[in-house]
Amino acid sequence: MAIPFNDMPLRRKVILIALVSTSVSLLSAFCVIILNERLTFPKTMGQNLSNLAQIIGDNCSAALSFNDNKTAQEVLNTLKANPHIRKALLFDAKRGLVAQYPAGSLENIKLPEGQKEGVGFTPDGVTIFRFVLAGRERLGTLYLESDLGEMKSRLLNYSVMTILIWVAAFLISLVVASRLEKRVTQPLRLIVEKMQDIARGEGDLTKRLEVSGEDEIAEVAAAFNTYVEKLQTVDEMKLGLISVVSHQLKTPVAEVNGYIENMLEGLAGEVTPKQRQYLEDMREIGKENYRLICDLLSASKIERGVVSVNLNPVSAKRLVELSIRDYEEPIRGKGLKLFLRGLENDFKVYADQDKTVETIRNLINNAVKCTDHGSLTIAIEDLSGQGVIEVRDTGIGMSRETMDRLFTKSRVMGKEAGRAGAGLGLYIAKNFMRLQKGDVTVTSELGKGSCFRLTIPKVPEPGGVKV
């Protein structure tokens, strides 16, 4: 049940600290009061009893002077008003008992000879002997005995008051602490939220936290901003590096590919069947390399925000035909069926032809890679206002977890980038489509295949007549 202090939420910590400090201060105040009371009470009580004895004694002086025991008894009876007085005895000058409280038949006692005035303390009470004087003449002696009830009731009062104050302080500190807690944790929570936003794949490194005030929270925000700034610099350096390296690689790789092509065409003399097989493998690897370099370039352009799109009305059918051109052979080579659907109902979309074709080719490339049996279906569909191009396969599919991260940057520049191909392509696809005010989405089931769906804004047709 008890949570260690370190693991508590800040809110509880603040409240707990407030409560503990109020409790401790109240308790110590209570202890000081009780201690003070303990120390001063006997003195106070002796003083009070002495004052009472003085008054009672004075009131008895005439009764003692004129032997009026009845009046003396009446005076002692007034002690009833003080419930803490247990006993009172009045002796005359000859030390004989003349009145007693509580009233009753007089006890057969005499005041000890030479009894002095003074206060005495017993474990459960206070006693006093006091002379009754008239001028310098001693008329008699009064004895009073009080219990400690007064002290007890005062201690009880203090305890009750302390508890009441504690309860009030508890409630007040609860309110104050929860208010205070909000002022402390609200900015923290805001910072945590923004940090998480930046930390997640979608995080934008150009974003900064708002720094207000000069407290520790502001310091955290400022430090975080500095950190993000550095990250941004590193990121930019990385993108620059990728861009430069890709550019430097692109031309040689293209050249090598050209030579391979030339050799396959026999421009460099007779090619033996064995040599042809090697050359064909090299051509495949070279193409893959070239594609990877192109993807890296595109991705770094997207990252640096230097991609521009050139939107024109384009036929959807033409987009599919341009995309499929280089893949018909690999598809057939893998023994897959290719279905083209909806091409008879062509329509026009606003798109950047090159980028859209690159996107569709990326999707087809992935589909071919991921599918060993079954078919590939490419379909176009005319939804009101939107053109849809679908690439569906019957391949390995993917888990929900994979889908969630499919289009994110972490796949591009993160650990998974090493796998090349698929990851980069989808990131580029997503960004290219968004730049064209379209989108790419995926539905998939592990082991049953995937379906990628491009949406592109359609060119409005007057009267809805189809071309």
Partner 1 sequence: MKRQILTFVSAFFLAFPWVETRLQGQEVSEYQVKAAYLFNFTKFVDWPQTTLTPEKKTFIIGVLGEDPFGGTLEQAVAGKVAKGLPIEIRRIDDFDPDDSAKLTDCQILFIAYSQKSRLSQILKALRKAPVLTVSEIENFSLAGGVILFDQVGKRIKLVVNPGAARRASLGISARLLQVAKLYRSE
Q: Which residues bind partner 1 (CB under 8 A)?
A: 58-59, 61-63, 65-68, 71, 134-135, 137
Strand partners, 337: 375
The rounded Cα 417 to chain-centroid distance in angstroms is 32
Q: How far is the CB of 56 from partner 1 (least distance, A)?
A: 12
Q: Rounded to the nearest 5°, which phi and psi values hold at 221?
A: -60, -45
Q: How far is the CB of 48 from partner 1 (least distance, A)?
A: 23
Dihedral (CA of 454, 460, 464, 467) sign: negative
Strand partners, 378: 340, 391
Burial 274-285 (b: 16+ CB within 10 A, else e): eeeeebeebbee
Tokens of 205: 């490194």
The angle subtended at Cα 53 by Cα 48 and Cα 54, nearest 5°, is: 95
Q: Which amino acid is it at 266?
A: G
CB 116 within 8 A of CB 128: no
Q: Which amino acid is it at 269?
A: G
Alpha-carbon distance 352 to 362, whole Å? 15
Q: How far is the CB of 146 from partner 1 (least distance, A)?
A: 24
- Report the candidate in 367, 354, 364 with the shortest Cα–Cα distance to residue 435: 354
CB 130 within 8 A of CB 54: yes
Q: How far is the CB of 70 from partner 1 (least distance, A)?
A: 9
Q: Output DSSP code: residue 458.
A: B
Neighbour tally for 431: CB within 10 Å: 22
Q: Extract the runs of DSSP E, i.e. beta strands, from 258-374.
A: 312-315, 337-341, 348-351
- Sequence-separated (6 or more) residues with CB below 8 Å from residue 181: 10, 11, 14, 15
Looking at the Cβ atoms of 64 and 367, the one nearer to partner 1 is 64
Alpha-carbon distance 310 to 315, whole Å? 15
